[in-house]
Structure 1
Amino acid sequence: MGFDHFLIREWCDCREETAAGECTETARKQAYQTFRKAIKGDRPADLHTMRRWFGLDGTSKPNREMLFHIAVSLELSVEQTQKYLKKGLLLPGIQVNDHREFIYLYAIEHHLDWQMCRKMIRFYEKHLPEATTLLDEKCTQKLWDFYDTVRLMEPEDFLVEMGKRAPYFKGYSKNVLEHYLQIQEELKALMREEALQQLESLLQSSSFTKWCKENHISPDQIREEEVILRYLQKENRRVRSAITKEEVEDFRKMARIAYGKGVYQSDILMEIYAAAMPNGKDAKGKYQKDRVNHIGIRLISDKYFSDLLHIAEQKEREINLLQQFYQSSGEEQNKILGKLRHQKQRCHIIEREDLLPLLHYLAQKKYTLKMDKEETGYQRDAAAEYFEEMANTVLEACQMEPLDRHYRLDALLLSSFKEEEMFSISDLIEGGSGERDGC
């Protein structure tokens, strides 16, 4: 179920046409017309874009800020706005730790128009205290409690009180970030353990043992990355090496993971999205997007992954640029505005689509270890349940929607557990094909 299906269910009166799970052209048009007539004030987007939200002339969905514009234009309640965010776009609900969304919350509750929203945001940003340092602690509940104390104030008083608590508005959920980092650490630990095991075949080989003796390598040195790399370099130069060039590269990577700098972000992405990774030097760094567009997987780039992990630093930079912007003028202000726009694009909120691929990979790895330890065979229902429990535990802790087969990504991941074996996301990319889902 996509955003178009969500909107149609919200705005279409002809329930009999959508009850069977099919979105007819008539239902789409009727829902769009009803939606359009309900808009008050500035439209959140041009008519062509709004038609695409309903699956007319193509499909698209609004970004997070545009969703708040929709909420204001339709005079949605706070509860309805949360529903649009969490069930419509499958995004986290209102983030009160973001100063803009804190103001949107106030505007929605007081039925302010979009222009007033933007005016309030500019006022707050312009009057940010100098040298504001964002707090590196969990503030979400404190901010909800704070909102209850200021929600009935006049706009200017509301903004003044916000300014007194500027350090609390760090722009992301530390709770969600901690879960994301924990998942990453578990993945790194598993990948390091795998690298250690795979390297043992090399370290126990007669060729490596002989080389160590010839080069006076002591037993306590054989598992040092530098020693392994020296051996691999020697083997790579031999005409009749016992190791192929491809194996040399694999062992180099394993040595780095097991005994060197450890697991890189790119290693995790390579493991999960291997089938969509570039082939050849010309395509270096670029995903083969055509292989995944049709099955509903959003590929995560190394840069995006890094921005998520360093969201605290990214938000600090954004706040600093905001202060510079309002303190400057003329050409200098225009230059800072360009930097500010670029910086905002690097400030992401961790979403379900960011968590689920990592959780899917982690669950399959841990279930495999569980099978090996208990010496039990693969069981589809048990494997799927293991993933569902792990995913839903994290999603609930992050206040996100639980797994639901009606959502395209969820259905795809759950379908990976077949009767005889389970498939990784890379396997799904390699051989999967997507179908347009129903309403």
Structure 2
Amino acid sequence: MTTTASIELTLKDISATGSDDEMCSTDLIDAPWDVDIRPGYGPGASMDDPIPQAAPRQGEIPAEYRDSSAEELNERIIRAKAELGDRVVILGHHYQRVEVVEHADYIGDSFMLAKAAQNHPEAEAIVFCGVHFMAETADLLSTPDQSVILPNLAAGCSMADMADIDQVEDCWEQLTDLLGSEPDAEGKVPVIPVTYMNSSAAIKGFCGRNGGIVCTSSNAEVVLEWAFERGQRVLFFPDQHLGRNTALNMGIDLEAMPLWNPARPLGNNSPDTVEDSKVILWQGFCSVHKRFTPAQIDKARIDHPDVRVIVHPECPQETVAAADESGSTAYITKAIAEATEPTTFAIGTEINLVQRLAAEHPEHTIFCLDPVVCPCSTMYRIHPGYIAWVLESLLESTVINQITVDAEVADPARVSLERMLAAKPRV
């Protein structure tokens, strides 16, 4: 078990010492600019997921950033940040390596960081240390004069890529052909589309155009209630596990939650199955959270009889059922911070966050359920070298890796996001 806050150092230690700890890929110790030239999402939890051919690729960055030491990059970032002052805001997702988040003005989940971006209209640039869909959302919620920058364009999201706009439009056409589009006697339309924040701007725009809404892992239940007030059933994408776990908590039967396979006609379902459904679940998942299992929880309880197990709702249903609690990253961090007595926590979420929580709360014993060190492939693509590059470019009035959402997508996407912002999560 490791408690070092830095995953980068942990991985190098494992590689150098041959310790009992494991990593899912030895390629994790490679520099991200070396990984960038290879196909795929890169080493880590998503490395076996198929990547769309059109996924953004990061070109080569200047040698001065590739060749600088960790100490030199750290100093360059600090100097550039100080000189830029209020002109820039740096946002760091919970799953980023500590060498990145230590430079962030705000640390949080995708929703919290999007709100942070919205609250700083004075900044000329927003450097989003996360993944592509997060930068898109920040662009949607920021002012037209602001530039949103993703330090490494290869930082995508395999879950978000599991539902592309063409597949969703095709699904919607099939559902409309089968179920129609007219409301019933109660005024409820046949289907309301609900997309998780972990989706492209195009998908959010689709929801905005079709009476739908965006949800987060914190307000998913409130959003589903909103949808059921307006529709007979919900089409939930791209994460099947969040949709299933949320609907189960609401008392909806598993039999009423068919899985939609976008590669098969009618999602590989019969017409009766679709007509009898309450929540149609897209066949998507998070490769990080798919790694957590009931067997890991069983072992944690054997090793630590008093353990408190908390997992993210993107985990499979069986894992959530075996845990003591499930909740968003904000829920997990709050639960640990509010524990008044020394507690042993087994956490089922991304390893960077778990190890950082362990370092920040030495009064507790905190460990990751998965014994194999396997960070999010795409979050790990962000590195201090890229941050130094984009910040020093801003000093020269050059914007690198700007993320911009076209107006025809942005306008309806903002509609679905505003509906999400109005759906306050229960405390």
TM-score normalised to structure 1 length? 0.26
Which has the bigger relative contact order, CA under 8 A and spacing at least 6? 2
TM-score normalised to structure 2 length? 0.26
Kindly name which structure, 1 or 2, has the bigger radius of gyration based on alpha carbons: 1
Is the strand fraction higher in 1 or 2?
2
Is the helix fraction higher in 1 or 2?
1
